[in-house]
Amino acid sequence: MRRPLLILAALLVAACGATQPAAPNQGSGTSKVNAGVIAIVDTAPIHLGKAKGFFTEQQIDLTITPVAGGAAAVSGAVSGQFQFAFANTTSLLTAKQQGLDVKVVANGVSSTGEQGNDFSAVLVKPDSPIRTAKDLAGKKISVNQLKNIGDTTVRASVRRAGGDPSGIEFVELPFPDAPAALQNGQVDAVWVVEPFVSQAISQGARPVAWNFADAAPDLTVAMYFTTGTTDADLTRRFTAAMRKSLEYADAHPDEVREVLKTYTEIAPEVIAKIYLPKWPVEVNRASVQTVADLALADGILNDKIDVSALIP
């Protein structure tokens, strides 16, 4: 999470005052809601839920606005642009530590917990001398954002394999640029999520760690959240629609793959092959606390965080 963006968001709130709850449409009793959501595999349930009418059932007229990442999602929610948004666990923990008024309303996405069958991996070139996560110690590894969930979970993989992660040099690279950086030797290894895991493996890259699966059993990777200014009844209805969407997506992987074609630019042939995450209805609170404790040990967080302050 980038501190300047969050500080700016807090200043915007101070300048503009509290945001207003989403107003019902005239004569319909339906609330207009704008949700800030990254257009990636992880967020398939909210798109599927909208298509299936789960939000309409809760009298919510949902607009899904694409955002670049967790920092934009948090700043948009805190400034009042979004009533709800999606961000990864570390971004939300960092926002809470900085005093921002964010609270989780629903699970977002979770690791499968299965080695060799998850949507996040650390990859190396096929001829790399790196054979296991332990060998990543002291190497240069790309992550999409420094001091975030990538750093934390990659270090967890190295520790679990008996290595010392303290000497790893993390390099910030967008996921789409990582496979080329690996091929040209710019980095020793890359951390990527789907669809880039499958794309890189198809080009010869070799997985040496499944970092989300290593970090904690059934890791909660990201969550949907709001701020304290959002109307409580609207929050209840959004949460109900989101829970139904998660349950449906988890039980209907073929429909997930179809809905991915509607809001991502992933090629259909890649969508057919990617590793899908899990979408349990409940947040794995223990895994969130594990991420908080790991981030504290790694210096990404400055203070110990009790996750009950983030997850009511």
216-269 tens-digit pLDDT: 999 999 999 999 889 999 999 999 999 999 999 999 999 999 999 999 999 999
pLDDT for position 312: 82
Common-topology check for domains 3-111+218-268+277-309 and 120-215: yes
Query: What pLDDT was estimated at residue 68?
Result: 87
Q: Is the peptide bond before 4 cis (omega within 30 degrees of 0)?
A: no
Q: Work out the average pLDDT over 156-174.
A: 97
Strand order in the sheet with 206-209: 169-172, 140-143, 189-193, 120-124, 206-209
What pLDDT was estimated at residue 28? 58
Going by C-beta distance under 8 Å and a sequence separation of 6 or more, which residues neighbour residue 14?
none
pLDDT at 11: 35
User: Where in the chain are the domains?
Assistant: 3-111+218-268+277-309, 120-215
Nearest to 298 by CA among 164, 134, 113: 164
Residue partners of 60: CB distance under 8 A and separation at least 6: 30, 31, 33, 234, 237, 238, 241
Q: Is 93 helix (H, G, I), strand (E, B) or coil?
A: helix
Q: What pLDDT score does 17 carry?
A: 37
Superfamily designation of domain 120-215: Periplasmic binding protein-like II (3.40.190.10)
The residue behind tokens 């790196």 is 130
pLDDT at residue 29 in the model: 85
Query: What pLDDT is stored for residue 289 in this prediction?
Result: 96
pLDDT of 114 strictly over 90: yes
* 3-111+218-268+277-309 CATH pick, 3.30.9.90, 3.40.190.10, 3.40.30.10, 3.30.70.890: 3.40.190.10
Q: What pLDDT was estimated at residue 306? A: 87
Confidence of residue 21 (pLDDT cuts 50, 70, 90): very low
DSSP string, 186-223: S-SEEEEETTHHHHHHHTT-EEEE-HHHHHSTT-EEEE
Q: CA torsion sign, 125 to 266 to 63 to 68? A: positive
Instruction: Measure the CA–CA gap between 197 and 184, rounded to whole angstroms.
Output: 17
Averaged over 123-128, what is the pLDDT?
97
Over the chain, what is the mean pLDDT? 91
Q: Which long-range contacts (CB under 8 A, 24 or more apart) does 252-256 make?
A: 252/48, 255/48, 256/44, 256/45, 256/48
How do 102-110 and 31-38 pair as beta strands?
unpaired
pLDDT at 104 over 90: yes
Q: How much is the pTM?
A: 0.89
Are 212 and 157 in contact by the 8 Å Cβ rule? The answer is: no
Decide which of 8 and 82 is more confident.
82
Residue 2 has pLDDT above 50, yes or no: no
